[in-house]
C-alpha cells in the first residue's frame, strides 16, 4: 500500500500518535489504511478548515495564494491565514509529525524540503508564476557614492544549494552570523569572485534591508559578512516586504538582495520602476507555490475541495 511506504519513508512509524485515527484499530497497517482512504473519500480540505497556512501578509507568495483562491473553483471559500515564516514552519513541522494534512505557501530554496518530504501542488492556472530569479536592487547613486559597495553587490551571485546550506545550518541551531561565516570559509572561490576588484575600505557605512524569510536571512547575512571582511561597516535591517522596496527606492539604504522576480514581487517592482537600480540575478531557479507533505494524496490545486 502506498501509504505504508510513506510511513516507512518518513521514519515515523514508531512512536507516532495517531491523533486523526479512530481508536481501537488493531495495527499500524489498519490505522494508516483508515486514514488515507485511497478511494478519495477523505476530505483533506475540510480537515484543514479550508485554510492555507500563509506567512507574512506582505509576501508575494501570500498575494499569489490569494489570487489562487480567486482563480480556482477548488479553493472557493478558502482563506489564506497570514502570520510569519517562522510560524508557518512550526505548523508544518507539527502537521508532519502527526501526519495531518496541511497546505502552506512555500518557496524554493528553503530548508523545509531537506527536512520533510514535500511537494508543490500543480498550478495549471499559473497563479504562482514560473521559475523565479532572486535579484539585487540598489539605490540610485550608490555606484557614484560607494563604488566598492556597488561592485561587490553587483558581483554577488550564488546557487540554490549554497543558500540551502546556510539555511539548514541556521535551522539546525547555528546563529545567522555563524552560519554565514562558515559558508564563506568553505567557499572562498565564490567569495573571491564577488570581491574581485573590490578595494578594502575603512568603515564605509552600508545598510542592507531584507525580510525575515529564511532564504533572505541566509543571503543577507552572507553578503554582510563578506562586506565586513572588506572593511565596510554593515548594518542589516529586517522590514516587511513593502518597506524593504520603499527603503531602497527612497535612497534610505544601499540596497537589498531579496527581490523575487518576475512574478513574486511584480507589484513592488512596478510601484518602484525607475526608482531602484536592478543589478540582475544573484540566484537562478527559485520558485513559489502551494506546498503539501507527500503523504497527502493530492497533486494539483484542482484536487482540493471548495468549502460547502
Ligand atoms: N518568499 C521568500 C518571498 C520572497 C522570498 C517567497 C517568502 C515572498 O513571497 O515575497
pLDDT tens profile 277-307: 999 999 999 999 999 999 999 999 999 999 9
Terminal-to-terminal C-alpha distance of the chain: 31
Looking at residue 38, its pLDDT comes to 43
CB of 134 sitting under 6 A from ligand 1:
no
Q: Pinpoint the alpha helices (H) of the chain.
A: 2-10, 28-36, 44-47, 60-71, 85-97, 112-115, 142-145, 147-155, 160-171, 176-186, 188-194, 214-229, 241-249, 266-272
66: exposed, middle or buried (C-beta count within 10 Å: 0-12, 13-18, 19+)? buried
Looking at residue 40, its pLDDT comes to 53
**Mutation probe of ligand 1 site: the residue of 113, 240, 264 with most atoms within 8 A of C-beta:** 264
Q: Measured at the alpha carbon of residue 78, what is the angle toward residues 132 and 287, in degrees to the nearest 5?
A: 10
**Residue ranges of domains in the chain:** 44-130+290-303, 132-286
Looking at residue 308, its pLDDT comes to 74
CB of 215 sitting under 6 A from ligand 1:
yes
- What number of other Cβ atoms are within 10 A of residue 250's Cβ? 12
273: exposed, middle or buried (C-beta count within 10 Å: 0-12, 13-18, 19+)? exposed
CB of 104 sitting under 6 A from ligand 1:
no
Q: Using alpha carbons, select from 174, 28, 39, 188 the residue that is nearest to residue 99.
A: 28
Looking at residue 173, its pLDDT comes to 97
CB of 102 sitting under 6 A from ligand 1:
no
CB of 61 sitting under 6 A from ligand 1:
yes
Over range 155-171, report the average pLDDT: 97
pLDDT tens profile 231-274: 999 999 999 999 999 999 999 999 999 999 999 999 999 999 99
Architecture of domain 132-286: Roll (3.10)
Over range 100-122, report the average pLDDT: 97
Looking at residue 33, its pLDDT comes to 39
**Mutation probe of ligand 1 site: the residue of 53, 55, 212 with most atoms within 8 A of C-beta:** 55
Q: DSSP label at 187?
A: T
Looking at residue 161, its pLDDT comes to 96
Q: Given a cut of 90, is residue 176 above it in pLDDT?
A: yes
- Angle separating helix axes 214-229 and 147-155, nearest 10 degrees: 130
Nearest CA owner, ligand 1 atom 2: 213
CB of 296 sitting under 6 A from ligand 1:
no
pLDDT-above-90 percentage for the chain: 86
Looking at residue 257, its pLDDT comes to 99
CB of 31 sitting under 6 A from ligand 1:
no
Architecture of domain 44-130+290-303: 3-Layer(aba) Sandwich (3.40)
CB of 210 sitting under 6 A from ligand 1:
no
Looking at residue 42, its pLDDT comes to 73
Q: DSSP label at 13?
A: S
Mean pLDDT of the chain: 89
Place of cell 498550478: 123
CB of 60 sitting under 6 A from ligand 1:
yes
Q: Among 29-43, 77-91, 158-172, which stretch is predicted with the lowest mean pLDDT?
A: 29-43
Nearest CA owner, ligand 1 atom 4: 260
pLDDT tens profile 16-64: 333 333 333 433 443 443 444 444 557 899 999 999 999 999 999 999 9
The CA distance from 172 to 182, in Å, is 14
Cell of 10: 518518513
Ligand 1 centroid, distance to 194 Cα (angstroms): 24
Stronger pLDDT, 142 or 41, i.e. the higher one: 142
Ligand 1 centroid, distance to 200 Cα (angstroms): 33
pTM, 2 dp: 0.86
Amino acid at each position: 500500500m502506498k501509504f505504508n511506504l510513506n510511513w516507512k519513508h518518513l521514519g515515523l512509524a514508531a512512536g507516532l500518535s495517531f491523533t486523526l485515527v479512530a481508536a481501537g484499530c488493531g495495527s499500524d497497517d489498519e490505522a494508516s489504511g483508515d486514514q488515507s482512504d485511497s478511494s478519495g473519500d477523505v476530505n483533506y480540505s475540510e480537515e484543514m478548515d479550508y485554510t492555507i497556512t500563509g506567512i507574512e501578509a506582505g509576501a508575494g507568495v501570500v498575494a499569489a495564494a490569494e489570487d489562487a483562491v480567486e482563480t480556482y473553483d477548488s479553493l472557493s471559500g478558502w482563506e489564506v491565514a497570514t502570520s510569519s515564516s517562522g510560524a508557518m514552519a512550526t505548523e508544518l513541522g507539527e502537521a508532519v509529525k502527526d501526519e495531518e494534512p496541511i497546505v502552506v505557501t512555500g518557496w524554493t530554496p528553503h530548508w523545509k524540503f531537506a527536512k520533510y518530504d514535500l511537494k508543490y501542488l500543480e498550478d495549471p492556472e499559473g497563479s504562482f508564476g514560473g521559475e523565479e530569479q532572486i535579484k539585487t536592487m540598489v539605490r540610485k547613486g550608490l555606484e557614484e557614492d560607494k563604488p566598492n559597495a556597488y561592485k561587490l553587490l553587483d558581483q554577488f551571485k550564488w546557487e540554490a544549494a549554497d543558500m540551502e546550506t546556510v539555511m539548514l545550518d541556521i535551522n539546525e541551531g547555528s546563529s545567522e552570523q555563524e552560519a554565514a561565516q562558515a559558508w564563506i570559509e568553505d567557499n572562498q572561490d565564490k567569495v573571491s569572485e564577488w570581491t574581485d576588484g573590490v578595494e578594502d575600505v575603512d568603515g564605509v557605512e552600508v545598510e542592507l534591508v531584507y525580510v525575515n524569510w529564511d532564504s533572505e536571512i541566509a543571503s543577507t547575512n552572507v553578503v554582510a559578512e563578506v562586506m565586513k571582511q572588506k572593511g565596510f561597516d554593515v548594518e542589516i535591517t529586517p522590514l516587511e516586504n513593502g518597506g524593504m522596496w520603499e527603503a531602497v527606492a527612497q535612497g534610505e539604504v544601499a540596497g537589498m538582495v531579496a527581490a523575487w522576480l518576475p512574478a513574486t514581487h511584480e507589484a513592488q517592482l512596478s510601484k518602484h520602476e525607475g526608482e531602484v537600480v536592478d543589478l540582475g540575478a544573484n540566484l537562478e531557479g527559485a520558485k513559489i507555490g502551494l506546498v503539501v507533505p507527500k503523504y497527502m494524496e493530492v497533486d494539483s490545486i484542482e484536487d482540493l475541495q471548495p468549502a460547502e
